[in-house]
A and B are shown apart, each in its own frame.
Chain A
Amino acid sequence: MSSDVTDEGVAIPHTTPTERATTVTISSQFSPQMPGVTMSPLGAMFCSRCNEEFEPHEKIVNSNGELWHPQCFVCAQCFRPFPEGIFYEFEGRKYCEHDFQVLFAPCCGRCGEFVIGRVIKAMNANWHAKCFRCDMCDKELADLGFIRHQNRALCHECNTKAKAAGTGRYVCHKCHGLVDGKPLRFRGEVYHPYHFNCTACGTELDSNAREVRNRPGYSANDLNELYCLRCHDKMGIPICGACRRPIEERVVTALGKHWHVEHFVCAKCEKPFLGHRHYEKKGLAYCETHYHQLFGNLCFVCNQVIGGDVFTALNKAWCVHHFACSVCDQKMNQKTKFFEVDLKPVCKRCYEHFPSELRRRLRKAHELPAK
């Protein structure tokens, strides 16, 4: 043992990627000032590099039992001392960190820096573990494994998605498998319907299942629940007569159906009524303008839009209080019997006042087969 040699080296705890430069080395420096050191005969020791003997009192570097002149203990490439005593050994030669990396360390395929420590060899390149990530979601792939998809490294999840996108199919948000057939949409994601059961009856769901908002009017969907179509229908959620979708917000009830506010529109101009007055005719609703335009419900007497009830007869319409005999102006009601003359109403009394010659002709005209 040489007590004048003191271990000062530092263990460098990293491994090189390919195990090619694996030596963990301790560098030592001779300290002549150290007292109480038993000197071994110097004549028995030679420098590992130059094979010369050491001078007495000369500094000796001891590294793993090999001895060196300090000027001989240098990088095999740049012949300079090792910075901070750290060196790398490869095929029996020692290199400083810089030269070792330049000569032997792999470059990262992403950042271009040397890879020290763990090297990921993949996709025909080397990578830092932190640099080898999924091309779609940027997740680190070193420990997850990856799949090569059209020359991109993807995590398993993204690979399924990418494959699905290629085929136009959905990926289940739960099992990440491809969804054959119609997916179930729930809380903004798509799923295999069979992952869920009806909230009411517990039956396994199919794609006809309905998502029901628990708090109507709120946009947050995390309280939404799923029901099978049967249970959903039994819950009495109104269905819009126009779009056939459930109405979860304001409901308009008209024409014996329910409507989304914005789907209850004029049959002619298709503008929503939005609470304005609408007019019904033969199962259709119209705005005031188009109702009167189409059905001419202007009173024959006052020529105004008929506000209340309407008398319709003889290709004309009347306000209730304007429906009168055209000859004597006496009001008539729905029970009054009247004659038709030139498509005008004539009460029985007035008709009997008509010249008999005219009545005869009118009667004859009415007896003709109507065309």
Chain B
Amino acid sequence: MSKAKKVLDEAKEIGNPELDLMDKGISAFEEMPGLLNMINITRLTLSHNKLHTIPPSLANLTNLEILNFANNQIEELPTSLSSMPKLRILNLSINRLNSLPRGFGAFPALEVLDLTYNNLNESSLPGNFFMIETLRALYLGDNDFEFLPPEVGNLKNLQILVLRENDLIDIPKEIGELQRIREIHLQGNRLTMLPPELATLDMVSSKSVLKLENNPWVTPIADQLQIGVSHVLDYIRTETYRYLYNRHISSRGAPPPKTIDKSKKASRLPRRQQS
């Protein structure tokens, strides 16, 4: 009997609604017989396995609130996923997603979406991606975004936005509409300037985090960042900066070169080369 099967049988026996199946060497759902009939489970954790697809019928587990596929080899998601009525936390970090399915933004209750370490960019997002109004944390670190769609401003409940180590050239001014934001991670991108609207958010309180390191900032921002994030925000509020920023927007030169070599990313490696 496989390790996975043993866990499933145990869970069925005691009626445990939380299933832990991490690091079981699972490469396909077929190795977990009966899982898709366990209608009562509220959490399914499949971290550190070798899954590359998710069957559409997973969406039949309508009581699932937490679904964790961290560190698998998933390249594609079923459209049905976004119809799961109670799903609140979806972890797809460290996979091989090149795109998200159509209608992915239809989640009715999703609060935390972790897409860290995939191969996503602005063109791989479906049109309704920023319609997930319930979303409070969006993790997009270690992806390939060059631009953040202005629709990000629709995420009225967003508290955490992570874009660490993408290829971002610009941040849209709509970021200033995220009234509840308290964590923004922008380190390791190709940013030179920030929209002045960012300074309208309360990012200096003890509960706020704004990470800006490792970007090719224009000199005045770089200088202020040496002193502290609050000084950057004070500076980008000034008229002088507004003028500089508007000029930068209208006569944009060539973006700074990419600095991070992502060719070694595990998300890039073709499946057949894995052991």
A residues at B contact (CB < 8 Å): 295-296, 300-301, 303, 315, 326-330, 341-344, 350, 353-355, 357-358, 361, 365, 368, 371
Contacts and interface: CB of A to CB of B under 8 A. Distances in A.
B22 A357 contact: no
Given A315-B207, A328-B68, A329-B47, 4 more contacts: A315-B182, A315-B183, A330-B22, A342-B116
Contact of A355 (B47, B162, B228, B265): B265
A354 B66 CA distance: 21
Contacts of A361: 165, 188, 260
Given A301-B89, A327-B47, A354 B209 contact: no
Chain A residues touching B, majority SS: loop
Nearest to A353: B48
Given A327-B93, A328-B70, A368 B265 contact: no
B91 A342 contact: no
Shortest beta-carbon contacts, A-B, top 7: A355-B266, A329-B45, A327-B70, A328-B47, A357-B264, A328-B22, A342-B162
Contacts, number: 88
Contacts of A326: 91, 114
A303 B136 contact: yes
Contacts of A301: 66, 89
B195 interface: no
A365 B260 CA distance: 13
Contact of B111 (A295, A303, A328, A358): A303
A330 B43 CA distance: 12
A368 B215 CA distance: 13
Contacts of B141: 342
B120 to A, nearest CB: 15
A354 B94 contact: yes
A341 B114 CA distance: 12
B241 to A, nearest CB: 20
Interface string B146-174: 00000000000000101011000000000
B24 to A, nearest CB: 11
Nearest to A329: B45
14 contacts: A303-B111, A315-B207, A315-B209, A328-B68, A329-B18, A329-B45, A342-B139, A350-B71, A353-B48, A353-B71, A354-B71, A355-B265, A358-B94, A368-B214
A358 B117 contact: yes
Given A303-B111, A354-B71, A357-B266, A328 B45 contact: yes
B209 A343 contact: yes
Interface in B192-237: 207, 209, 213-214, 225, 228-229
A171 to B, nearest CB: 56
Interface string B110-134: 0110101100000000000000000
Contacts of A365: 187-188, 213-214
Contacts of A354: 71, 94
A72 B136 CA distance: 123
A70 B165 CA distance: 139
B20 interface: yes
A329 B142 contact: no
A371 B114 contact: no
B84 to A, nearest CB: 17
Contacts of A357: 264-266
Contacts of B214: 365, 368
B116 A329 contact: no
B61 to A, nearest CB: 16
B225 to A, nearest CB: 7
Contact of A329 (B68, B88, B137, B182): B68
B5 interface: no
Contacts of A355: 94, 117, 265-266
B177 interface: no
A327 B265 contact: no
Contacts of B136: 303
B76 interface: no
Contacts of A343: 160, 183, 185, 209
B142 A358 contact: yes
Most chain B CB inside 10 Å of its own CB: which residue of A296, A344, A353, A361: A344
A342 B68 contact: no
B75 interface: no
A368 B187 CA distance: 12
Interface in B4-49: 18, 20, 22-23, 43, 45, 47-48
Contacts of B116: 341-342
Nearest to B66: A329
Nearest to B165: A361
Contacts of B89: 301
B67 to A, nearest CB: 10
Contacts of A342: 116, 139, 141, 162, 164, 185
B258 to A, nearest CB: 14
A159 B45 CA distance: 91
Nearest to B207: A296
A350 B48 contact: yes
A324 to B, nearest CB: 10
A343 B228 CA distance: 19
B273 to A, nearest CB: 14
Nearest to A346: B70
A368 B142 CA distance: 18
B250 to A, nearest CB: 31
Contacts of A329: 18, 20, 22, 43, 45, 47, 66, 68
A322 to B, nearest CB: 10
Contact of A353 (B23, B66, B137, B213): B23
A354 B267 CA distance: 11
A174 B89 CA distance: 78
Contacts of B111: 303
A252 B114 CA distance: 47
Contacts of A327: 47-48, 68, 70-71, 91, 93
